[in-house]
Every structure is written in C-alpha cells, then in structure tokens.
Amino acid sequence: MTRKLALRVGELVLVLLIVSLGVFSLMALLPGDPAVAILGAGQPPEAYADLREQLGLDEPTFSRYLDWLVSAAQGDLGRSVVPPQSEVVDRIVSALPVSLQIAVMGLVMAMLIAVPVAMWSAYHEGGMVDRLISAGTFALLSVPSFLAGLLLIMLVVDGTGWFPRSEWVRLGEGDLLGNLHHAFLPALTVALAELAMFARVLRGDLITTLREDFILAARAKGMPPLRVLFSDALRPSSFSLVTLMGLSLGRLIGSTVIVEYLFSLPGMGSLVVNAANQGDFPMVQGAVLVIAVLYVLINAGIDLSYGYLDPRTRRAHV
C-alpha cells in the first residue's frame, strides 16, 4: 500500500514537471518580444534592453525555467509585467475560487438533473419518455454555451428580473445567499452543456447494467424498483460518468471564459485570456500551471475512486 502510494505520487510529480516545462516553453517559444509588448513600439533600443535585463529575459531559457520552477515550488509565481504589476499568486487566489465555484456548482446541478433523467430513460428504455429525453439531450448537446447563456440572460434576467446579471458577491464575504444567487445562472449555463453528455453516457451504461443477472436477482428478492436502480444499478454503471465528470471539472476551471464574459465574472478564464492579450507571460504561466496542477490532481482522485466503485479493481492496480 505504501509502495503503491509512493509510486502514484512519483507519477504525479513527473506529470507535473512535464506540464510545467510545457507551459514555460510555450511562452518562451511564442513569437513577439515581451519587452515590446509591454513598452509598446517606437522606444529606444536601450529601453527594451533594460527591461529585458530587469525581467531576467537575457538569461538562458533553461536557467530561467529552473529559477521559475524553484520559486513556483515555494509558492511564488512572480509578478505581472503589466501595471499595476501585482503578484501573480494574489490574482490567481482571487480568480480561482470564482471559477471553482461555478465549475463545481455547474457539475452538481448537471448531476442532479442527469442522474434521475438517465435512470428514468434507461428504466423505460425505448418508451415515449426515453425517446423524448434522448431528443432533448441531443438538442442540449448542440446548443453552444454562449447561446445558452445569452438565452438565459434574455429569458430569466431580462424577463423576470429574479437574477442579477453582472455582479459578483465573493464567497466568504458573509453573504452566502447573495453569492449563490449570483452564481446560479452562470452555473446553470455550465450545467446545461454538461448534463446532456452525462445523461447520455449514464443511460447507456445503465441499460447494460440493467440486463445483468444480479439486477434480476435483486428484483427477485422483492426490492422496489427505485431501490434496485439506486443501490444495485447506479454504482456499477458510473465508471464512464465519473471519468467524464473528472475531465469536465478540470476543463471547466480554466475554460469557462465565455460564461465568465457573459456574466462578468472575475474568474480564471478571463484572467488567462486578458493576460495572454497583454503579453503578460508570468501571469499566463502561473495561471496555466495552477490549472494544470488541479487537472492532474482531480484526475488522480478520479483514478482512486475506481477502487471504491468496483472492488474488483483494487487488487489489479500496482
């Protein structure tokens, strides 16, 4: 067990090293000179040279990478090169909770809708409702999130006025209800796109599971249908769903840019996009690194959950 865990951690560290190298080289390889991007064109050459020296850009790339990595490991991701030159870490600490909250809330909402829908669909496979649900999820899948978000804004915000459009109440500033109120619509926008996929995948797996003998055996014991669905069928059917959910969560943290723009949320997506536009390479590097680390950790967690989902896999892992 200890050995297994050590191997696992070693694997994680290796993956993260590769990711960090990738992130760093990406920025180093990008065309354009950061000094020009920052100062603008038409300055005297000495000014550019001075700035490059100040930013450490005159050093060899690899030694810059090592420096960056060592500081990053100590929790220092450097300073933004764009005024007001704030600490990268500070900006991430303020943006990350927003994105995490929207992503997690969106996924929870997606699951709350997708699981019962998929169950109903699978239990009444081929029936009227199943076919309606299949058509509905297919339609949802083909709606891009900017459209879904715009429609929600039009219908719910402008139409009813129940929800605010473009403010954000931070979590932990005392007003939990206010925060949830503001987060609801963006999370729903995210959920709509994800839940269709979840429902379709889970429906397929459930249909396969429901044909198993152990489902018949559970029914033959007199278990009520709902109980058979939840306690016998759901867990063995949730492999693909859980995998998909892990990938979604990782992806959503960094790429809800559209939803963030629509609802004016100060999240990670807009942070990265703005930084990239301004040539703010320390900011991009830092943000992408944090997103990558989260992605890797989340999926490591998903891998661990397989052991819970199916006890037969517990021995198979080395």
Partner 1 sequence: MTAPLLEVDDLHTTFRTPRGAMRAVDGVSLSLAAGETLGIVGESGSGKSVLGRTIMGLITNGPTTEVTGSVRLAGVDVHGVKPAGRRELWGTTVAMVFQDPMTSLNPVKRVGLHLTESLRLHKGLSKGAARERAVELLRQVGIPEPARRAGQYPHELSGGMRQRVVIAMALACDPQLLIADEPTTALDVTVQKQILDLLQSLAERLHMATILVSHDLGTVAGRTDRVAVMYAGRVAESAGTDAVFGTPRHPYSQALIESIPSIESRPHSLLATIEGSPPNMLAPPAGCRFAARCRYAVDRCRVEAPALEPRGAAAGSVVACHFPLTAPLHHQHQEVGA
Which spans of this chain sit near partner 1 (rule: CB under 8 A)?
A: 126-127, 212-214, 216-225, 231-232, 235-236, 309-312
Alpha carbons 86 and 84: distance in angstroms, whole number: 6
Q: Do 77 and 287 meet the contact criterion of CB atoms below 8 Å apart?
A: no
Q: Do 117 and 111 meet the contact criterion of CB atoms below 8 Å apart?
A: no
Alpha carbons 178 and 265: distance in angstroms, whole number: 14
Rounded least distance, CB 133 to partner 1, Å: 17
Residue 312 neighbours by CB distance under 10 Å: 9
Question: For partner 1, which is the closer residue by CB, 127 or 159?
Answer: 127
Paired tokens of 21: 């190298």
Rounded least distance, CB 217 to partner 1, Å: 5
Residues found in the chain: 318
Question: For partner 1, which is the closer residue by CB, 4 or 314?
Answer: 314
Question: For partner 1, which is the closer residue by CB, 3 or 221?
Answer: 221
Question: For partner 1, which is the closer residue by CB, 218 or 262?
Answer: 218
Question: For partner 1, which is the closer residue by CB, 143 or 223?
Answer: 223
Alpha carbons 279 and 306: distance in angstroms, whole number: 41
Question: For partner 1, which is the closer residue by CB, 133 or 191?
Answer: 133
Rounded least distance, CB 314 to partner 1, Å: 9
Alpha carbons 6 and 12: distance in angstroms, whole number: 10
Rounded least distance, CB 240 to partner 1, Å: 15
Question: For partner 1, which is the closer residue by CB, 234 or 262?
Answer: 234
Rounded least distance, CB 110 to partner 1, Å: 23
Alpha carbons 152 and 103: distance in angstroms, whole number: 17
Rounded least distance, CB 137 to partner 1, Å: 22
Residue 243 φ/ψ, nearest 5 degrees? -60, -50
Residue 197 neighbours by CB distance under 10 Å: 18
Rounded least distance, CB 311 to partner 1, Å: 5
What angle separates helix 128-141 from helix 176-210, to the nearest 10 degrees?
130
**CA separation (Å) from 261 to 41, 192, 269?**
29, 17, 9
Question: For partner 1, which is the closer residue by CB, 51 or 228?
Answer: 228
Question: For partner 1, which is the closer residue by CB, 10 or 127?
Answer: 127
**CA separation (Å) from 305 to 243, 300, 318?**
10, 9, 15
Give the list of residues 6+ apart from residue 137 with CB closer than 8 angstroms, or none: 117, 195, 196, 199, 200
Rounded least distance, CB 131 to partner 1, Å: 13
Rounded least distance, CB 231 to partner 1, Å: 8
Which amino acid, 12? L
